[in-house]
Structure 1
Amino acid sequence: MTEKGPVLVATEPHDVTADMVISHLNRRAAPVVRFNPADIGAGLTLTARFGDGSTGRLRTSSRSVDLDDVRAIYWRRPVWPGFESLSDVDARFAAAQVRHGLGGALYALRGCRWVNHPLRNAAADYKPAQLEVACRLGFRVPPTLVTNDLGQARRFIHEHGQVVHKTLRWTSYERDGVGLTSWAEPVREEELDDTVSVTPHLFQARVDKVADLRVLIVGRRVFAVRITCDLLDWRKDYSSHTYDVVHLPDRLAGALRTYLDHYGLSSGSFDLAVDRDGEPHWLELNPNGQWGWLEERTGLEMAAAFADLLAEGGADADAR
């Protein structure tokens, strides 16, 4: 790999946060090739050879790159093609070929830095696994139940009193053509019925919190912001909050870095709840979380940190 190889940025066309990072890469004279998997067959082509010398080339409508020369890949917010013009069965087939062909060829790259490798993002995205790792690393974890057993769910709420229901994973959802999202919401015993049995749910004892912490780690750099608001779920209204830059105790910052190391991630966004004694409680990790609005609110140089990490390049630890 050449020292001046390009940085691949995989994301959707209108990703303002990616634009922020690319601007900093441009200032560092690091060449950038931006692409979106949804453009396959419409200006995006891949060629990869295996068995007689592994080589590959990715072409967009304006750029071309030898995959062996890539110094880093920023896997930001890529969109996979839906093939809406095809029948349902053909669309599913074509989509699978893209994910396993284009995705597989890229996932196989070694000798470059991933921020983050998609397969590691996926492994870190399971909340029950996150909770187990958090317990093992010594974080304060609110009592949590994952179940589709109605009796167990009601018993848990009865034991802990104030309980919050959360989805196990954010998923795009529409009803009557209207996009919906899910929030952390209080739940009572009498609100539950037999539909609980259809799928597992996450129930968690409510932390008596006074604020939230959003912690972004990029490489080894830690950016921590205290979010003060009156909402149980601060994501409902970003505008009504107070944002304060804080310095984490070394022990907590070290534990969060260790958490990322466990999953082999270069970056991640952590959410913690701060109780009335000032103690942080684990909530979750978003391995590819949003952070652009925090830079705008606080002036923290988050985009520059991503650009530094990507421009530096280097192989991921398990690929050396």
Structure 2
Amino acid sequence: MAGAGQVLILAGRFDPTTDLVVEELNRRAVPVFRADMAEFPLRLSLTASLGGSRWLGTLANDRRTLDLASVRSVYYRRPTRPQFPERMAPEARKIAETEARWGFGGLLSALPCRWLPPPGKAADAEYKPLQLRVAAEAGLCVPHTLITNDPEAAKAFADSLGGQLVFKPFFHVRGTAHGQAAAVYANIITAADLPHPDIATTAHLFQEWVPKAYEVRLTAIGGQIFAAEIHAGSAAGRIDWRSDYDSHTYRVCEPPPEVAAGVLRMLDRLELPYGAFDFVVTPEGDWRFLEVNPSGQYGFIEQATELPITAAICDYLEGIGQ
């Protein structure tokens, strides 16, 4: 049965994925209070006191006031950092940022409601070494992987594979270069490219290259699974589909039962209600796990396939069927 109360949405101000959730909750006449951490403390005020075993109080901006006791669930989608007065001294700003994290963030985490995703668990799940271990424990097939800062170890790993391998960053690398947006995606390398002295400068992740028939974005939410094939139409997209969205075509698919079961086991072990999973499907039909994003976008998949992912997310936030 659906619960009562409001859904608190903490997200960046311009986020199309969050917009989909807000629009669906509005359509359902579910009360929503949307805010970004960047609004605190200049445009967002917080007042709370401990009443018995619950925090009672309000969160308010210049438009609305949220009763903290009324929050039934929180949708947490990459909010941006708190912003402080420009005139604030750097030392004071550092302290204020720390206090905002542990005070404002800590209070919200103390609310007795469900989160999608829980920030602490989501942060832990961002670690790729943890993802890969838990995926293997859950029964998913994981490519051979090496983490090292030893150039000779990277060379030996490449030699052992006897073919191409992939270098990829541990975390999203985005920024600007020469005044334009830039990002680092997965790259194919061979044993001939190794050893390379730059490997010694930090930790590097190498994986065997898995031949692709296509890739799959599998979105799981509250026990439901939605999967779509991604067929890349460019050379760059076939290496890393995120590098060329415009070339893709999509098709709804059904994951093998053992993959679906492994996905749900993995989310259970990571204590997450939601995950955006990436798989490679080989020409032989084998599914290989690449990664899971605990707050990954899904709008492009829903738009292309009409899979009802937003509805499933809103069901979870409402408590329907839980």
1:188 is aligned to 2:195: no
Indicate if the aligned counterparts of 2:167 and 2:204 stay in contact, CA closer than 8 A.
Answer: yes
User: For the structure 1 residues 201 and 122, does the alpha-carbon distance in structure 2 shift closer, same or farther, using more than 3 Å as the test?
Assistant: same
Which consecutive residues of structure 2, in runs of 5 or more, have no partner in the other structure?
Answer: none
**Does residue 288 of structure 2 align to residue 286 of structure 1?**
no
**Number of aligned residue pairs:** 313
Match of 1:207 in 2: 210
TM-score scaled by length of structure 2: 0.91
Aligned-partner Cα distance in 2 for 1:254–1:288:
20
Find the aligned partners of 2:244 and 2:190 in 1 and give their Cα distance. Answer: 24
The TM-score, its normalising length taken from structure 1, stands at 0.92
Q: CA deviation at 1:174?
A: 3.6
Quote the residue 1:69 is aligned against: 70
Counterparts of 1:238 and 1:17 in 2: how far apart (Å)?
A: 16
Distance 1:84 1:243, change over 3 A: farther
Percent identical among aligned pairs is 38
1:127-155: CA deviation from partner (whole Å, max 9, x where unpaired): 00111111112211110001111111111
Note the C-alpha offset of 1:175. 3.9
Q: Where do 5+ consecutive residues of structure 1 fail to align?
A: 316-320
Q: Does 1:14 align with 2:14?
A: yes
The reply on whether 1:249 has 2:256 as its aligned counterpart is: yes
3-state SS in 1 of match to 2:213: strand
Whether 1:78 and 2:52 are equivalent positions in the alignment is no
1:117-266 matched pairs, under 5 angstroms? 117-160=118-161, 161-189=163-191, 190=193, 192-229=195-232, 230=234, 231-266=238-273
Q: Provide closer, same or farther for how the CA distance between residues 138 and 299 of structure 1 changes in structure 2, counting only shifts above 3 A.
A: same
Corresponding residue SS for 1:71: strand
Task: Assess, with a 3 A threshold, how the Cα gap between structure 1 residues 180 and 253 changes in structure 2: closer, same or farther.
Answer: same
Give the Å deviation of 1:314.
9.9
* Mapping of residues 18-29 of structure 1, within 5 Å: 18-29=18-29
Alpha-carbon deviations, 1:3-39, whole Å to 9, x = none? 4210001111111211111111112221000000100
Shift of 1:191: 5.2
More displaced stretch, 77-86 vs 165-174: 77-86
Distance 1:34 1:68 in 2: 16
- Aligned-partner SS, 1:273: strand
Aligned CA distance change for structure 1 residues 241 and 146 (closer, same or farther; 3 Å): same
Structure 1: distance between partners of 2:53 and 2:287: 51
Q: Measure, in 2, the Cα distance between the counterparts of 1:244 and 1:4.
A: 37
